Chains A and B, each alone.
Chain A
Amino acid sequence: MGSLAIRGLTARYGKTVALHGIDLELTDREFFVVLGPSGAGKTTTLKSVAGLVDGAAGEVRIAGRDMTGVEPYDRGVAMAFESYALYPQRTVEQNLASPLRSGRNGTWTPAQQAERIRQVTTTLGIDHLLGRYPRELSNGQRQRTALGRVLVRPAEVYLLDEPLSHLDAKLRAAMRAELKQLGDLSGTTTLYVTHDYQEALALGDRIGVLREGRLVQVGTPTQVWTEPVDTFVARTIGQPEMNLLDAVVDGGAARTPGGGVVLGVGPEVPAGDAVRLGIRPRDLEIVDRQAPDDRLVLRGRVVLAERLGRSVELSIDVAGVQVIAVTADHRTREGDSVTLVAEWANVHVFGAGEPAPRLGAACRPEPAQLAGGAR
């Protein structure tokens, strides 16, 4: 158990720069999730902490100890690889015993080893597979074995590289819940890498969003969800993706080209600037009655209604702009005219560019501006 500090971590493979100066501080026992698309440098970050990347520069401190020039086997880290990296010539039990037999992770008598392996495999639900070889396991079982090889041993830091990615959807949800309750994980500093935003939100004490080798935002799940630092983070988190509507600012109000969406952006955004308005599909609500004037109101026609069991995903044409909304209301049909409302605080205003930085939340526009939009 220990803290983990990363300062100015860069990594390059030949001419390609994989990481551009990552700074990260994990307190003892923190569960930190690195979220990002494939190729963002997530695995490289983990391997650099483990000391497995030759072209890595920068400072890594584990439990306060500088790791410069320290061999991987002396760092006291355990890692679950995305490719599992199970020893093919060894059984599940021998794979799990490997870290206990190396002598660098405490001394274990054979009886203690067996007991520890039994505990971990029981928790992971693979205790009936101890005698099998990796080639005789399903991908889900292999992944849990790889996770078991980490959990079986004490370590300063656990590094988990997409440990749930190859499980089927149901098992993944179940394992996500189980992971959270695992005593070994909650007691050890963990750096967890995933491309699944739900895992990140559900598991992380904090989340770091990685894009092309840079950490673009670090924060609690709530912060990352409610105040995404730019459109990249906003789109990475949430399914369906956040609606992003192009708009132009005019006198403190932003207006979409068709005039279907008008909202106040505050006086600090200069007139004439292009902005993008972000609204999460689940923050849009269909109302039957007269639209309340304390919220953003959108009026449009349903182009497509996809019924996905409990919820319905609607594509709505709002004065020429396509907006996605998710609702539980099954009465809505294609071709219907609907009125959608959203809280002002849930409407994000981003600047121009890609990715565009977040400027703030929207506010209620002045009545005069609203009238202009209705014209």
Chain B
Amino acid sequence: MAAKELTPGQRRFSPASLGADLVLLGWFVFSLFPLVWMVLLALKTNADQITTFFAFTPTLKNFGIVLSDEGTRLTSVNFTDALFNSVINCVGAVLVSLVIGIPAAYAAGRWQYRGSNDVMFTILSFRFAPELMVIVPLFVIYNQLGLFDTNVGMIWVLQLVTMPLIVWILRSYFQDLPAELEQAALLDGYTRRRAFMMVALPLVRPGIAASALLAFVFAWNNYVFPLILTGSRHTPVTVAVTRFLGGGGQAYYNLTAAAALIAALPPLIVALSIQRYLVRGLSFGAVKA
């Protein structure tokens, strides 16, 4: 047998580890089952949708209905438009958060002043307030400002979701950068702004990718804000999905499942496309300046 170094955490066979594996497997099935159920449901016909059989004749028709005029007729919301709205809202929200959040995170990471931690805590606290708690005043304000049922309004309100995430994640990235790197740039003859652009910014690119992705996913999945703050013109995808459950009329579980699967695709695509940076982000600490 080839000589092999012992790695801490490497597996050795024992009855206890077998038991642990079984427990893990059980948990795996339990947590993945809703997803499996959703996929099955999306492939069922209207007749099969309320059965719990695993054996049925699968159909792709549901996806067609969701994306076609027939879906629009059932829910009075065009699902393709809803997807498009969500993309605009989330990309817009993340971009605004990045433009404002990167300088904010840099300042928070580099500049310690009396109360700087309180400011950071306040920013984080946007995340702990239940959305339902602020939604009523927001609804009133949005109605009066004319922001109700607009993309601008959604981008604005989604800042509550995306901004704290981006500022907090990027702050720790900036804190991990030695300040001497920028000091060196200052002494090389660069202004503070150029030192930031030239030295600090490129080095936190993995952090920007990771935090932007997380913020995008959180914004994409947000349900309460659009539920209350949009009408039928600028409905995003989370609200559009639930329309298939029917408001008092027939509930289409199979169509809901198909719509939810379609709605899960964009975040997946975004995650895969910036995966390269995410992996770099994980190994960032290995590069000692």
A residues touching B (Cβ–Cβ < 8 Å)?
47, 50, 52, 71-73, 77-79, 81, 83-89, 98-99, 102-105, 134-135, 149, 153
Contacts and interface: CB of A to CB of B under 8 A. Distances in A.
B183 A52 contact: yes
10 contacts: A71-B186, A81-B183, A84-B289, A85-B183, A85-B184, A88-B287, A102-B188, A102-B194, A135-B287, A135-B288
Interface in B270-289: 287-289
Interface size class of B (residues with CB under 8 A): 20 to 34
Contacts of B192: 71
Given A86-B289, A88-B289, A98 B188 contact: yes
B202 A72 contact: no
Nearest to B195: A73
A113 to B, nearest CB: 13
Most buried by B among A73, A81, A105: A73
Interface in B177-211: 178, 180-181, 183-192, 194, 199, 202-203
Contact of B189 (A50, A105, A135): A105
Contacts of A88: 181, 203, 287, 289
Given A135-B287, A135-B288, A85 B180 contact: yes
B178 A72 contact: no
B178 A52 contact: no
A47 B179 CA distance: 12
B184 A81 contact: yes
A102 B189 CA distance: 5
Interface string B9-44: 000000000000000000000000000000000000
A83 B178 contact: yes
Interface of B: 178, 180-181, 183-192, 194, 199, 202-203, 287-289
Contacts of B199: 87
Contacts of A149: 184, 188
Given A86-B289, A88-B203, A89-B202, A79 B184 contact: yes
Nearest to A82: B180
Nearest to A99: B188
Contacts of A72: 183, 186-187
Given A71-B192, A105-B188, 9 more contacts: A52-B186, A72-B183, A73-B187, A85-B178, A85-B180, A85-B183, A88-B181, A103-B189, A104-B189
A79 B187 contact: yes
Given A83-B178, A89-B203, A73 B287 contact: no
A83 B180 contact: yes
A89 B284 CA distance: 12
A89 B191 CA distance: 19
Contacts of B183: 47, 50, 52, 72, 79, 81, 85
A301 to B, nearest CB: 52
A77 B288 contact: no
A334 B184 CA distance: 54
Contact of B289 (A73, A85, A102): A85
Contacts of A78: 187
A216 to B, nearest CB: 28
Contact of B187 (A77, A83, A84, A86): A77
A73 B189 contact: yes
Contacts of B190: 73, 102, 104
A44 B186 CA distance: 16
A330 to B, nearest CB: 46
A192 to B, nearest CB: 16
A102 B186 CA distance: 10
B191 to A, nearest CB: 6
A127 to B, nearest CB: 21
Contacts of A102: 188-190, 194
A83 B289 contact: yes
A277 to B, nearest CB: 44
A81 B181 CA distance: 9
A89 B202 CA distance: 8
A129 to B, nearest CB: 17
B181 A85 contact: yes
Nearest to A134: B289
Contacts of A99: 187-189
A81 B186 CA distance: 13
B276 to A, nearest CB: 16
B166 to A, nearest CB: 22
Contacts of A79: 183-184, 187
A107 to B, nearest CB: 12
Nearest to B187: A79
B238 to A, nearest CB: 39
